[in-house]
Structure 1
Amino acid sequence: MGPGEDNERREAWSSYWSSGRLHSCASGDQDNYGGAIAQFWRTFLERLPPPARLLDLATGNGPLPRLVWELHKDAADIDAVDLADVAPAWHSPSLHRGVRFHRSVRLEALPFADASFDGAMSQFGFEYARRAPALAECLRVLRPRAPIALVMHHAGSVLVAVGREELEHHGWLAGDDGLVEAARGVIPWLAQARAGIPAGEAERAARARARYNAAMQALAERAQQSTAPDLLLEARQAVHGLVARVPAAGAEATLQSLDAYAGELARARLRTAEMVSHALDAAQLEDLRERLLSARPGQAVDCSELRQAEGVVAWSLVCAPSDADEGVIA
């Protein structure tokens, strides 16, 4: 992956995390993960005897460091890294003294000394890196018997299914026949009409309006048929909100706002495409498990599907010494 692509990814994810979200899933606004994922992390973290220095890989807005602090308060000791420029709004250095965030860090090049940590974890993050070098770096900075816990996107999960459907919506919204281009075409005509200036080309103005109305109708039909319509409904609200408020003074400011929204859509599409493309199938998970068994002979590597009412939500993986049941961290 070249520097240009790294920068594009960093910009897309930095923009996302600056919104304050604590998750990286398509179509969701909850503050944190619940259900099977929350139970997995609480079980893992409660078995670690504090004080333990922990590493959170691809932290995003830091749901895991926040959970560590909630469980251990002043005994929490965790370094959290991310490629993006993360600065979680919930984090106060004076209050969360043992929680440290490190920006613009690639998992393939961690800025820590060998054998620095008593445990490593990642929630929907590790799989976005190049897995072999990222795993090597993770093992380098861990003490030899330190456990590793990962929650990773599952290629067959309900989250990835939503992501695949949203990619189709993104393609239509930004395409030549989609809502964004239809709005771009009608906005100048609306500005002229509201200024009381004759369009002069009534037929072209009528075609632009008809194209926009057809796009709105197509969106409504897509949303009705979709099992994941949130993106379409949000786009309808945002774009029509701009179109409905075109000022008589001119179209330029509205078109600039539309361009800004189109940029947001493009960054969202990149993030969703990354989630879908980096989700692991069973063979890829098994490859990761075998790499860990090879690197840590004699240790156990447990892989499971995390399920809740709506279906599979993730893979979980834990690599730990066989005596980890007794709370041993060497």
Structure 2
Amino acid sequence: MSNIVNKNYIVKHSKREIIGFSAAAKKLKQDIEIVSNSELNVLIQGETGVGKELVAEAIHQKSNRFLSNMVYLNCAALPENIAESELFGHIKGAFTGAINNRIGKFELANKGTLFLDEIGDLSLRLQAKLLRVLQYGDIQRIGADTVSHVDVRIIAATNVDLIKAIDNHTFREDLYHRLNIYPIIVPTLRERMTDILPIAEYILEKIKHELVLYKLYLTPHCIHLLESYSWPGNIRELENSLYRAALVAKFEQCNKDICIHANNILVNNETDQPLTNVPIEENIKDNKTHLSLREATEIFQYQYIKKTLAQQKGNWSKSASVLQVDCSNLHRLANRLGLKDK
């Protein structure tokens, strides 16, 4: 069974899978099938949160190297001197703090796969050393006199435009061509909107087990809103939003049969913007006969507040007086319902 060396530890064969039936998802799966059984280096490109690491895992698991390790290194997470040691290893006394010999990721991945995440952030000096390994398979630990040979397949990933990086002299063109033998572009979530629901259901199943729930599901209104949002943070943003929504819904409903409503979902950690910032009456046109009591109440509140504001010419204080609620509470309710202060 394949091992994946993820971050600084080894985990068992990954059970994660690529979910989706859209044309973009099918093309991605086809690319993975085509390249997996070759020995070609692979460059995975795509926005943050699209699942580049998942694609790398899929390639490794379908390759002839699946019985060997897949080793992970985030090139952006470490200073240059530490990154060099992580890649190539060092011998005792090579530098201050080198109290023992250390094996590098290349040696750890020998006969297997090395996944270099955020390759676009690797320094030019280390890019040159990496190029030599790709050309000859030779590595040298920091401080060592001897050279070792490794047999490693490289899968690299980046959200950086490497062509622009080459033009800006921050990425080597020769290294780019060595890595870009078979490029894979991971589609954004907005390019595969029909996959949002199956991906969300997959995530909810995982959350249900983690939170020890009997049922965890979305209202039709919530599904419609999920499929209407552009998800700039892609699958990672969708997953984070669903986790937060499940926790909020569990707290509110206090049982193990949890229904996630649209107002439970926040799509921005910094501003806590509700997903319901799309006008409610527009989002429920196709679901009028499938509304819960809570959703119907929210729709009535939205429409009644909007009508009152129009009658009071947008004056929130007067509207609050007519509605017999505190003005600050009215603002909070309107914000939760997606009725913005014009």
TM-score after normalising by structure 2: 0.27
Question: Looking at both structures, which has the greater relative contact order when contacts are Cα pairs under 8 Å and sequence separation is at least 6?
Answer: 1
TM-score after normalising by structure 1: 0.28
